[in-house]
Amino acid sequence: MIMGKVLLVEDNPGAVKKIVQYISRISADLEVVSFSEAGKALQYAKSNDISVFILDIQLEDYKGTSLAKQLRKLQGYKYTPIIFETALAGEELTAYRDVKCYSFLIKPFEEEEFTAAFRDAVGLSKQMDRPAETIRIEQKQFILEYTVSDIAYVEAFGKKLSVHTNNRMLGIKEDSISGYTLSGLLELLDDPSFVRCHKSYFVNRSHIEKIDKSGRKIFLKGFIEEIPIGNKYQSALWG
């Protein structure tokens, strides 16, 4: 997780407290700055470097969508991740179409839902700030190269691993590799985004769409497969 500032624009003190707590449990390296008014938030953004914006739609002075449009006109924030949160689900289409927001949370939302959206957004911010990290995996007759952030999950079966990737341009892909264990590949990746969730699986947190605690399953964006959660590995996911 990168160090940086998160600008939260929300006029409900209870919601501010909740979101700040959620972010603190995701990373201690991120500073959250909050405002209840869009105008003050805009002035702050102009004189500071913001990594991710979290904007409520209904604010004290004017709409969060209007603030987002103003931010998008600033050169430094043309592509900065924006997460909208609101109780008005009807605003979703307008936000995606006119503002190009990165994610949308309908109140009231649970911590798991927020965490998945936020990790994804911060992952995008990280990719924008530096060249994408890649990993090279040697096989007998060829070398496979992956963008680390594209790896959604890896499954072990027999003496082989199945690497599942999801790239916005190339879509979903699966490769079978040999000569590696799950633990060995995790060590090679050396990235806190990846977490072991089962004796036969590890997943990339930034690809998680939903976690079903009672059913002990993980749902990943774009994938039909349900990833199981083993008893031994639950603490790593809940932490």
To the question of pTM greater than 0.85 for the whole model, the response is no
3-state class (DSSP) for residue 105? strand
pLDDT at residue 30, as a whole number: 87
Residue written as token pair 């987002």: 68
Please give the average per-residue pLDDT across 177-198, as a whole number: 92
3-state secondary structure the chain: CCCEEEEEECCCHHHHHHHHHHHHHHCCCEEEEEECCHHHHHHHHHCCCEEEEEEECCCCCCCHHHHHHHHHCCHHHCCCCEEEEECCHHHHHHHHHHHCCCEEEECCCCHHHHHHHHHHHHHHHHHHHCCCCEEEEECCCCEEEEEHHHEEEEEEECCEEEEEEEECCCEEEEEEEECCCHHHHHHHHCCCCEEEEECCEEEEHHHEEEEECCCCEEEECCCCCEEECCHHHHHHHHC
Domains 4-129 and 134-238 share a fold: no
pLDDT at residue 80, as a whole number: 86
User: Each residue of 10-28: pLDDT tens digit?
Assistant: 999 999 999 999 999 988 8
pLDDT at residue 150, as a whole number: 92
Residues 6+ apart with CB under 8 A from 55: 9, 10, 64, 65, 67, 68, 82, 83, 84, 85
| Two structure tokens written together for 6 | 């998160």
- Give percent of the chain above pLDDT 90: 53
pLDDT at residue 103, as a whole number: 78
pLDDT at residue 163, as a whole number: 97
pLDDT at residue 2, as a whole number: 43
Closest CA to 104 of 113, 112, 167: 113
pLDDT at residue 132, as a whole number: 63
Please give the average per-residue pLDDT across 211-232, as a whole number: 93
For domain 4-129, the CATH class is alpha beta
pLDDT at residue 98, as a whole number: 66
User: Each residue of 61-106: pLDDT tens digit?
Assistant: 888 889 999 998 887 888 888 998 887 666 655 666 666 677 788 8
User: Each residue of 155-181: pLDDT tens digit?
Assistant: 999 889 999 999 866 789 999 999 999
Domains in the chain: boundaries: 4-129, 134-238
pLDDT at residue 154, as a whole number: 97
pLDDT at residue 38, as a whole number: 94
Per-residue confidence band for 39, with pLDDT thresholds at 50, 70 and 90: very high
Q: How far apart are CA 201 and CA 175, in angstroms?
A: 15
Task: Name the CATH code of domain 134-238 (choices 2.40.50.1020, 1.10.1030.10, 3.90.1310.10, 3.30.56.10).
Answer: 2.40.50.1020
pLDDT at residue 226, as a whole number: 95
